[in-house]
Amino acid sequence: MQGVKAPLIRIAGVSKHYRSRGSRVTALAQVDLDIARGEFVSIVGPSGCGKSTLLYILGGFLRADEGAIEIRGRGIEGPGIDRGVVFQEYALFPWLTVEQNIAYGLVNAGMERRQRDETVRHYVSLIGLQGFEQRYPRELSGGMRQRVAIARTLACEPDILLLDEPLGALDALTRETMQDELLRLWQGTGKTVLMVTHDVNEAVFLSQRVVVMSKRPGRIVDNFAIDLDRSRPREELMVSDAYNEMRNRVWLAVRREAMAAAA
């Protein structure tokens, strides 16, 4: 999967510690992970295993205590518009309308008015929210909000998408619809995606590679290449033997870690 070219993202020996009630907790221990350009990689693992921490370090919001992270061969200095981030919830600005939220990054980039309006229109129709442009996030359903959050991030045209349990707050049905949309977006744009999730089905359904992290201190214990024909419709894919075998293998690996965490 990694090909011969240098990976887009190289995570080497990354560790992260923090202090909790005076004692030192290791959140991440010696994590190595390479991600190729255009790859869709998911991280799964028991809660509290540090998978989000890894995402935040990549986002430039937190610093690694040890190890190195390189994107296109260069270290990261804080957040950047080359990496778009979608959080689980509470990240849309409640004081901005749908339109203003999507335009937020474009305004920062200094895009001129006409082009901006056009871009916003494009993304509004991409997520199917025509007619909701002037609504505030409070007036939208959870699924709509998350679509706006994704559109807002895509509008900045990042090369890399960092998704932190982006569909975690949605009900099961909305979630499946959103997974389909996410898949379609990824296939259409060829962006590099790193997604944190606790849903094994979601990870296997969407990703080319699923990385399993151990309980704290988080380290990578498994790395599954998922080779599925994603041009097939969901109902076909999800009942196929190939899908289910893969899902079971990942699920067993996650379960092993979850049981170890509980013990």
Of 16, 45, 54, 87, the one binding other proteins (CB under 8 A) is 87
**Interacting residues with other proteins between 135 and 164 (CB under 8 A):** 136-138, 152-153, 156, 158
**Minimal distance in Å, beta carbon 61 to other proteins?**
5
DSSP helix/strand/coil, 194 = strand
Size of the site for other proteins (CB under 8 A): 29
**Minimal distance in Å, beta carbon 101 to other proteins?**
10
List the one residue out of 67, 86, 71, 63 whose CA is nearest residue 36. Answer: 71
User: How many residues are recorded in the chain?
Assistant: 263
Cis peptide before 217 (omega within 30 of 0): yes
Specify the residue, 148 or 204, whose C-beta has the smaller distance to other proteins: 148
Specify the residue, 13 or 79, whose C-beta has the smaller distance to other proteins: 79
Of 78, 131, 188, 233, the one binding other proteins (CB under 8 A) is 78
For residues 215 and 50, give the distance between their C-alpha atoms in angstroms, rounded to a whole number: 8
For residues 237 and 8, give the distance between their C-alpha atoms in angstroms, rounded to a whole number: 29
- Hey, what's the torsion of the CAs at 179, 209, 46, 215, to 10 degrees? -160
Binding mask 47-76 for other proteins (x = CB under 8 A): ---------x--xxx---------------
Q: Which residues are CB-contacts of 172 (< 8 A; sequence separation ≥ 6)? A: none
Site of interaction with other proteins (CB under 8 A): 56, 59-61, 78-81, 83-85, 87, 90-91, 93-96, 104-105, 108-109, 136-138, 152-153, 156, 158
